[in-house]
């Protein structure tokens, strides 16, 4: 296995959108040098000033050639750009022998460059935000704890549900608050969802049609599957002797969302790309996020294992945070674990090649302890 290129101590944070929160500030304490790249140097300077980081990080105007000119071996590039831009950025990192980090799912464009990155000693940290990110840590921790009790070689069946949502802290008529681009929200709803239910793989061509009530500590939410849950059975390293009854990763919404969004679903069903792009702009104008708004992030991961012998283990993690005047809950929950992961690149504890947050129970416990110390609170309940 190739050793990672020693970290230089310089971090290039690219993009200052809605998910750039106090994780950037924490990096200013751990990294030797931080540069914030944004559309213009003035916009970057404004973003730094808003977080009280003037003089602690250097503002830069982002263009790929400008970033490439400042990259050195061992630097860390943090992409807060849209997912399609991760591939080109990673290619730039491999050429410069710089490390790469993002909070997004692994795309094909990233995955195909992993062998070259590993050979070059480049660490590629992905899925290290909230969802994906903290949800992975919760899942690995629960699976490891259950394995100690049930035994990985014992025949058993299990249910794993992982639901996450960004919602308004004070419910509104729309039952939603945009925490990322409306076009992205709408297009995600147009993508089929694959998951396991009653022991069989199931696909919902329109994810919202699979919406179910989901009760968390007495509060009723609405939950639906998203993306493709099935590959995560392998990614989470679930024992082969354990068979899934239910395995679903999905999205949480406030109770009443399905009704409030009925007109939106009608538009999505028609599938007119131009109209949906127009609808995204209309929704952004109709439901703007204001300075007075406060968001709420809820992440609930539950795991229940039942062995043929009658043994049973059940546990659940719950994260429930409300944003503050200084920082949204979403920005905190995405940027803090990402900064934590970048810290592990800087200290050399992540290997060359691909890492999806922490990928073992033991390593996940370490990250969770660090998150607690960093002020990202959550609870663990074992029944």
Tell which wins on pLDDT, 271 or 68.
68
Q: What is the mean pLDDT of residues 217-233?
A: 97
Q: What is 354-369 written as a DSSP string?
A: EEES--SHHHHHHHHH
Share of the chain above pLDDT 90, in %: 91
With tokens 């283990």, the residue in question is 313
Judge whether residue 179 has pLDDT over 80: no
Q: What is the pLDDT of residue 17?
A: 79
Query: DSSP code of 205?
Result: S
Q: What is the pLDDT of residues 106-164, one digit of tens each?
A: 999 999 999 999 999 999 999 999 999 999 999 999 999 999 999 999 999 999 999 99
Q: What is the pLDDT of residue 18?
A: 73
CA angle in degrees (0–180, nearest 5) for 67-35-6: 80
Q: pLDDT band at 323, cuts 50/70/90?
A: very high
Phi, psi of 75 (to 5 degrees): -65, 165
Q: What is the pLDDT of residue 98?
A: 98
Q: What is the mean pLDDT of residues 248-261?
A: 97
On whether the CB atoms of residues 328 and 21 are closer than 8 A, the answer is yes
Q: What angle do the packed helices 134-150 and 361-373 form, to 10 degrees?
A: 130
Long-range contacts, 307-310 (Cβ 8 Å, 24+): 307/150, 307/151, 307/154, 307/155, 307/156, 308/154, 308/155, 308/156, 309/154
108 belongs to the catalytic site: no
Q: What is the pLDDT of residues 352-367, one digit of tens each?
A: 999 999 999 999 999 9
Q: What is the pLDDT of residue 175?
A: 95
In the set 29, 75, 131, 217, the catalytic residue is: 131
Query: Which pTM value belongs to this model?
Result: 0.95
On whether the CB atoms of residues 132 and 110 are closer than 8 A, the answer is no
Q: What is the pLDDT of residue 341?
A: 97
Q: What is the pLDDT of residues 277-298, one digit of tens each?
A: 999 999 999 998 887 889 999 9
Q: pLDDT band at 274, cuts 50/70/90?
A: very high
Q: What is the pLDDT of residue 20?
A: 85
Judge whether residue 1 has pLDDT over 80: no
Share of the chain above pLDDT 70, in %: 100
Q: pLDDT band at 21, cuts 50/70/90?
A: confident
Q: What is the pLDDT of residue 290?
A: 81
How many C-beta neighbours within 10 Å does residue 37 have? 25
Q: What is the mean pLDDT of residues 65-85?
A: 96
């Amino acid at each position: 296995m190739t050793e990672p290129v020693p970290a230089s101590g310089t971090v290039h944070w690219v993009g200052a959108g809605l998910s750039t929160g106090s994780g950037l500030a924490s990096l200013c304490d751990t990294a030797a040098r931080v540069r914030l790249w944004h559309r213009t140097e003035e916009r970057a300077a404004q973003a730094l000033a808003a977080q009280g980081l003037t003089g602690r990080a250097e503002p830069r105007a982002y263009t790929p050639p400008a970033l490439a000119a400042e990259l050195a071996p061992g630097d860390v590039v943090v992409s807060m750009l849209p997912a399609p831009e991760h591939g080109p950025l990673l290619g730039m990192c491999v050429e410069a022998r710089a490390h790469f980090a993002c909070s997004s799912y692994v795309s094909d464009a990233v995955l195909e460059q992993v062998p070259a990155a590993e050979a070059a000693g480049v660490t590629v940290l992905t899925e290290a935000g909230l969802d994906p990110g903290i949800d992975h840590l919760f899942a690995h921790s629960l699976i490891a704890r259950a394995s100690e009790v049930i035994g990985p070689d014992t025949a058993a069946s299990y249910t794993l549900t992982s639901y996450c949502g960004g919602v308004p802290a004070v419910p509104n008529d729309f039952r939603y608050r945009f925490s990322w681009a409306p076009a992205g929200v709408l297009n995600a709803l147009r993508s089929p969802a694959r998951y396991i239910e009653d022991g069989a793989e199931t696909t919902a061509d329109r994810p919202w049609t699979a919406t179910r009530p989901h009760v968390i500590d007495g509060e009723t939410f609405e939950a639906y599957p998203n993306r493709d849950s099935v590959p995560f059975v392998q990614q989470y390293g679930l024992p082969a002797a354990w068979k899934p009854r239910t395995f679903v990763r999905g999205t949480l919404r406030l109770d009443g969302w399905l009704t409030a969004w009925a007109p939106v679903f009608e538009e999505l069903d028609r599938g007119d790309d131009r109209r949906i792009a127009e609808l995204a702009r209309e929704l952004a104008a109709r439901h703007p996020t204001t300075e007075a708004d406060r968001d709420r992030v809820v992440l609930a991961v539950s795991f229940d294992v039942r062995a043929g012998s009658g043994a049973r283990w059940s546990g659940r993690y719950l994260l429930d945070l409300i944003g503050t005047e200084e920082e949204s809950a979403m920005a905190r929950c995405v940027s803090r674990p990402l900064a934590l992961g970048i810290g592990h690149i800087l200290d050399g504890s992540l290997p060359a090649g691909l890492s999806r947050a922490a990928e073992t129970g033991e390593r996940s416990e370490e990250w969770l302890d660090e998150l607690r110390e960093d002020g990202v609170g959550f609870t663990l309940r074992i029944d």
